[in-house]
């Protein structure tokens, strides 16, 4: 089983499989001994057979409003449904269950219907926007000593997803627009 913990930390050109690359280069973890993330461990626990072997790049976040107010804890990961894929094609969202705080998978979304943006680099914030218009903001949770590096990996991954996608015209860093009609929403829409 392939383990894909993190995109390669060094920058790379868009034409080769760097961060987010799935096929051309084995997804060598930046730190080979790193323990699988919470989401990966959750899927490995055996209740999700079909998702058990997905190589996942994941991080813990807090959901924030557009203005930065903190709401829920969210674990977000991107994964490839097949090891043959050059790029990940799935987004997974999970978070603590209301009852006991244990991680619970909320949803699995094809990346072709999701756009990821850098919302505020200085606050390590990403924006997740679904094709339906639903959008929310996530701020990376990581120790200060690794936060910039980790966020940089997400940025490079977003870059690769954007420039390898058919909708290449979509800007990488989304500027705020007064015309924008999306609003803050809870990724855990059932909770």
Partner 1 sequence: MTYAYLFKYIIIGDTGVGKSCLLLQFTDKRFQPVHDLTIGVEFGARMVNIDGKQIKLQIWDTAGQESFRSITRSYYRGAAGALLVYDITRRETFNHLTSWLEDARQHSSSNMVIMLIGNKSDLESRRDVKREEGEAFAREHGLIFMETSAKTACNVEEAFINTAKEIYRKIQQGLFDVHNEANGIKIGPQQCISTSVGPSASQRSSRDMGSDSGCC
Say if residues 109 and 121 touch (Cβ distance below 8 Å): no
Interacting positions 24-63 with partner 1 (CB under 8 A): 41-42, 45-50
Count other C-beta atoms under 10 Å from residue 151's C-beta.
20
Instruction: Report in angstroms how near the CB of residue 111 gets to partner 1 at its nearest.
Output: 9
96 contacts partner 1 (rule: CB under 8 A): yes
Instruction: Report in angstroms how near the CB of residue 181 gets to partner 1 at its nearest.
Output: 14
Instruction: Report in angstroms how near the CB of residue 172 gets to partner 1 at its nearest.
Output: 22
Say if residues 174 and 164 touch (Cβ distance below 8 Å): no
61 to 90: interface string for partner 1, x by CB under 8 A = --------------------x--------x
Report how many residues bind partner 1 under the rule CB under 8 A.
34
Residues 57 and 77: their CA atoms lie apart, in Å, by: 5
Region near partner 1 per CB under 8 A, out of 1-9, 66-74, 92-100, 144-152: 92-100
Q: Rule CB under 8 A: choose which of 14, 24, 107, 148 binds partner 1.
A: 107
Instruction: Report in angstroms how near the CB of residue 114 gets to partner 1 at its nearest.
Output: 7
104 contacts partner 1 (rule: CB under 8 A): yes
> Exposure string (b/e) for 12-39, b if CB count within 10 Å is 16 or more?
beeeebbbbbbeeeebebeeeeeeebbb
Q: Rule CB under 8 A: choose which of 71, 105, 118, 142 binds partner 1.
A: 105
146 phi and psi angles, rounded to 5 deg: -115, -5
Say if residues 38 and 75 touch (Cβ distance below 8 Å): yes
Show Cβ contacts of residue 190 under 8 Å, excluding neighbours closer than 6 positions: 106
181 contacts partner 1 (rule: CB under 8 A): no
Nearest Cα residue to 117 out of 178, 175, 169? 175
Question: Which residue ranges make up the site for partner 1 (CB under 8 A)?
Answer: 41-42, 45-50, 81, 90, 96-110, 113-114, 130-132, 134, 189-191
């Amino acid at each position: 089983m392939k383990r894909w913990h993190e995109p390669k930390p060094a920058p790379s050109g868009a034409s080769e499989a760097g961060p987010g690359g799935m096929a051309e280069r084995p997804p060598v973890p930046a730190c080979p001994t790193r323990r699988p993330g919470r989401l990966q461990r959750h899927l490995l626990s055996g209740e999700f057979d079909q998702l058990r072997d997905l190589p996942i790049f994941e991080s813990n976040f807090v959901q924030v409003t557009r203005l930065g107010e903190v709401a829920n804890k969210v674990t977000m990961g991107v994964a490839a449904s097949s090891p043959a894929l050059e790029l990940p094609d799935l987004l997974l969202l999970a978070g603590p269950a209301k009852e006991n705080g244990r991680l619970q998978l909320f949803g699995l979304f094809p990346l072709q219907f999701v756009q990821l943006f850098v919302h505020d680099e200085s606050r390590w914030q990403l924006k997740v926007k679904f094709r339906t218009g639903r959008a929310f903001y996530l701020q990376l949770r990581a120790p200060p000593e690794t936060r910039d590096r980790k966020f940089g990996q997400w940025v490079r991954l977003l870059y690769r997803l954007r420039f390898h996608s058919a909708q290449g015209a979509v800007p990488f860093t989304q500027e705020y627009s007064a015309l924008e009609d999306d609003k803050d929403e809870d990724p855990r829409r059932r909770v």
